[in-house]
Amino acid sequence: MALQIGSELTCSMGVTSIDASIPWYERVMLCQLLYRADEIGWCELKTPMAGVNIGLSQVETVVQGGGATNVFEVADIDAAKAHLDAEGVRQDGEIQHIPGLVKLLTFYDPDGNAFMFSQSEIAT
């Protein structure tokens, strides 16, 4: 039987407090809580992107470095940066611009998990 990939992706990451993280993801990433399973220290949030969810696993320590960086496409990266600035979100420098290709902005959740916003400059 051939592999069949579904239409949903859950980006899983560790956080030190689900209680503190849920409001951050709702406010900053515009997510909506789908469900919470406190008995296993897990919750999932729906992102504004169809079929993409964020799963949060409560852990004692969040390991920094390595792993995947979740990159979310935005229509206007300057507006996205202004949103992050207004929320006091830690960022890794200014918007990176690769002319004719993409604009990128790296930022972090309260536990140091890395995310990026991207704005494509490739004509389709």
CATH classification of the domain holding 17: 3.10.180.10
Q: What is the pLDDT of residue 119?
A: 94
Note whether 74 and 55 are same-domain residues: no
Q: What is the pLDDT of residue 21?
A: 97
Note whether 76 and 119 are same-domain residues: yes
Tokens of 79: 């507006």
Domain-located, residue 43: yes
Domain-located, residue 33: yes
Using alpha carbons only, give the angle 44, 30, 12 rounded to the nearest 5 degrees: 30
The total number of structural domains in the chain stands at: 2
Domain ranges, residue 107? 68-124
The Cα–Cα gap between 99 and 84 comes to 23
Note whether 72 and 25 are same-domain residues: no
Q: How large a percentage of the chain has pLDDT more than 70? A: 98
Domain-located, residue 49: yes
| 5 or 114: which leads in pLDDT | 114
Total number of residues shown for the chain: 124
State the pTM of this model: 0.85
- Residue for token pair 């859950």: 10
Domain-located, residue 76: yes
- For the cut 90, the answer to whether the pLDDT of residue 6 exceeds it is no
Instruction: Show the beta-strand stretches assigned E in the chain.
Output: 9-15, 32-37, 42-46, 52-58, 70-73, 96-98, 102-108, 114-120
Using pLDDT thresholds of 50, 70 and 90, give the confidence band for residue 19: very high
Note whether 50 and 85 are same-domain residues: no
Q: Kindly state the DSSP code that residue 59 receives in the 8-state scheme.
A: -
Note whether 107 and 75 are same-domain residues: yes
| pLDDT, tens only, 21-74 | 999 999 999 999 999 999 999 999 999 999 999 999 999 998 877 778 999 999
Residues pairing with 63 in the sheet: none
Domain-located, residue 25: yes
Q: Name the amino acid, one letter, at 84.
A: L
